[in-house]
A and B are shown apart, each in its own frame.
Chain A
Amino acid sequence: MASFTPYTYIQCPCHDSTSQSQSADDAPPTASQDLSESGDDHTFHPRAQRSTFSLYPLEYLLYCDVCHQIRCPRCVTEEIVTIYCPNCLFEVGSSSLKTEGNRCTRSCFQCPICIGPLAVQALESPSEPALLSAENATTPIPAGPWVLTCSYCHWSSSEVGIKFDKPQGIFGQLQKLRYGEEQNKHVVSGDTSPTKHDSAPDTNKARFAALKSFYGSQTVNANPSAGLSGLGDYGLNSPGALTRIMSIYSGNNSNGLKQKNKSTVMREADSINEGFRASDLDESSAISQLRRDGWDGTVTCDQAKTQAEEGAQFADQLWPIPYLLRTKRSKRCPVCRHIISKPESKVTNTRWRIRLVANNSIPSISIKPLNPPPGSGLLKPLQPAQFLLTFKNSLFDDVKVTLATPATTPGRFASRVTVLCPEFQIDANPDNDMYLDDVLKDGDKERQRRRGDEGIHQAEAGKIWERGRNWVSIVVEVVPASLRIEPPPVLLRKEGGPAPDLSPLREDEDILEIPMFVRLEWESEASHDQVGASVSREKDVREKRELAYWCAIGIGRISQE
């Protein structure tokens, strides 16, 4: 049995806006669940399919300190700060991104076999080892063909017949090798007639350009005034756009009417020059290669997917992969548009300019069993177990916490949950220079407690278990449900209700997960974001704040017996 680590997932409030209307129909049809309540009364179901997307560990969450609300990675709006290559850490401008694509155009490549970084190496050693001593600093620069090699899986580009003349500008050399010299002609010629090409376009890019220009000219020829050619260029240099504009300004409607009456027949691309390529149904060469090289000669699914151009079937069709560029992004609050996370724009700097993590604003919850049971650590069904929830306050103000849980957990196996102390106050997080003092004091208290009332300390309803500098622990009692799947007694079955779900235990359904509603209330200094006179007049004006959210607390696995 895999070990279980207790967890706390917090639900982002962005969940409300999207799922409330749909929660009824996409929640799993379980017998014990009755979502007839509406509005705010509905309890949160951590196992509902939609909940998966709104529950996050505390570390993932950000906090907007203007709206005073939790923000998750899903609801923030992102903006790109920097685009860079993860290998050479070279910053790429967004304009060159548009022209050259989203891959590094320097000499950064990944191994097509194992995605390790590739290095440029000379294929032949230039000198005899006898001539090379350690002191001989002036090593002659090796000449001759260069290859890309992977130092991990020892793939080398010479395996697929790629060799370079010089060790610089590998990307350009590779493009030339792959697409030939005339690739520029194909790509640039967007609106020239495809018949001008004397050679057939053979790469995907070139074929796309040829097809695009062919169909662009077709729509223009067929219907010069209707410029809504989805296939044509949107720029003004295309003849379609020009005629459209001309027809708008001349007000010559008769042309358009005439065109509408006449149904024009558009020709499909049918020659190689127009970008048409018949599917190659003769696969005998592929089959013979498969016979010759066997399984090892084919590409794996992952390898085919990471290739920059699709269509590789055999290992000798794999090309070095130019590194995909990455971005650094800043995050904004979706409501007030304030930046809540912003990295340094320099690629090599890993610090953040602004980062408002939720950890600094809402208390963390940690879970441990009160009396750790010996053995497997599984919860015994129908036997009460007590757990300690420790709330640690990170704010510099006292926080009043109110907890609420449903009496039984939602889902097929309803365990009973009792929070012994649902209302308590946590002291403020003290300043750091007080830290040592407090640790000493805490230690004293701890020792006293251990010496004194070790035996008689018992969980009591309405009382907190233990209190520290800026933390409070309370006791939660659970009675885990039995995981036996049997039809409910006839007496309890509702007339006309949904049929009981008797399917076998699903994955992780044996985890006892408590939905808990946490409401925080605290007083803090009034925010100074409004430039008002009142702020300057009364400096110590206190503002009442509150924050409430659902969280899912995973306590443990229930043993199946």
Chain B
Amino acid sequence: MASSSTKRQSVLPRGQSGPKAPVNFSSSITIADSVLLTGNHTINISSESVVHPRAKIDSANGRITIGRRCIVHERTSIGVASSNPTPGESRDGVVIYDYATVEAGAVIESGGTVIGEGCLVGVGSRVGRGAQLGKHCVLTPKTVIQPGEAVPDFTVIYSNGTRRLDKRGVIDLKNKAQARQIEVLRKLIPSNPAKFQ
């Protein structure tokens, strides 16, 4: 395996593309070695959250805050600069509240974006700058939330933007499942928070 890895070089430039970001980690988080943290604002990650390998968190456009027991999957981009060049009024980049999950390949733009408690941002979704997701929202894969949009609590967005309210009332169940998943992920993902501090 070692020989093959030396042969196959990535065409992309190695290493960090920006300055080493200031971080503020809780001691109980799980963060993989190959996560990319860049930017000059603080990246806060609270207790028991999990960041998968190759997630990209960029604080160049504002502070990134990730709450407790969140899961950030592979190849997600959190804190991407918005395509709109005018500076936003918010100093926060992205705030992700407790128990939220950001699935693989999702993009969350920076600039006062809020992902509410217990939200699920589906595979390949895109959340625009300054969008506010309420509590326990579900974005099914490939959903696009426009910049500045406010999504009420318990909204499910599915099939090209159709919306409905989730009336199951299974928050406790969902939180328990999230905690259990984090427990398993901790065993699977070798954590190396010291690399970033």
Contact = CB atoms under 8 A, between A and B. Distances in A.
B168 A134 contact: no
A129 interface: yes
B90 to A, nearest CB: 30
B180 A296 contact: no
Which of B138, B170, B173, B184 has the most CB atoms of chain A within a 10 A radius of its CB?
B170
Contact of A154 (B162, B166, B176): B166
Contacts of B176: 125, 129
Given A114-B159, A125-B173, A134-B187, A153 B164 contact: yes
A149 B169 CA distance: 13
Nearest to B173: A125
A156 B165 CA distance: 11
Interface residues of A, number: 17
Nearest to A315: B164
Given A114-B158, A158-B168, A159-B168, A153 B180 contact: no
Contacts of B184: 134
Contacts of B167: 156, 159
B164 A113 contact: yes
Contacts of B187: 134
Nearest to A116: B158
A156 B168 contact: yes
A296 B165 contact: yes
Interface in B164-197: 164-168, 170, 172-173, 176, 179-180, 183-184, 187
A153 B173 CA distance: 17
A152 B166 CA distance: 11
The 10 A-B pairs of least Cβ separation, nearest first, read A153-B158, A156-B168, A129-B176, A154-B166, A159-B167, A154-B156, A129-B180, A129-B179, A125-B173, A153-B156
Interface of B: 138, 140, 156, 158-159, 162-168, 170, 172-173, 176, 179-180, 183-184, 187
Given A129-B183, A152-B158, A153-B140, 19 more contacts: A113-B164, A114-B158, A114-B159, A114-B162, A125-B176, A129-B176, A129-B179, A129-B180, A133-B183, A134-B183, A149-B168, A152-B140, A153-B159, A154-B138, A155-B164, A156-B167, A156-B170, A296-B164, A296-B165
Interface of A: 113-114, 124-125, 129, 132-134, 149, 152-156, 158-159, 296
26 contacts: A113-B164, A114-B158, A114-B159, A114-B162, A124-B173, A125-B172, A125-B173, A129-B183, A133-B183, A134-B183, A134-B184, A134-B187, A149-B168, A152-B140, A153-B140, A153-B156, A153-B158, A153-B159, A154-B138, A154-B166, A154-B168, A156-B168, A158-B168, A159-B167, A296-B163, A296-B164
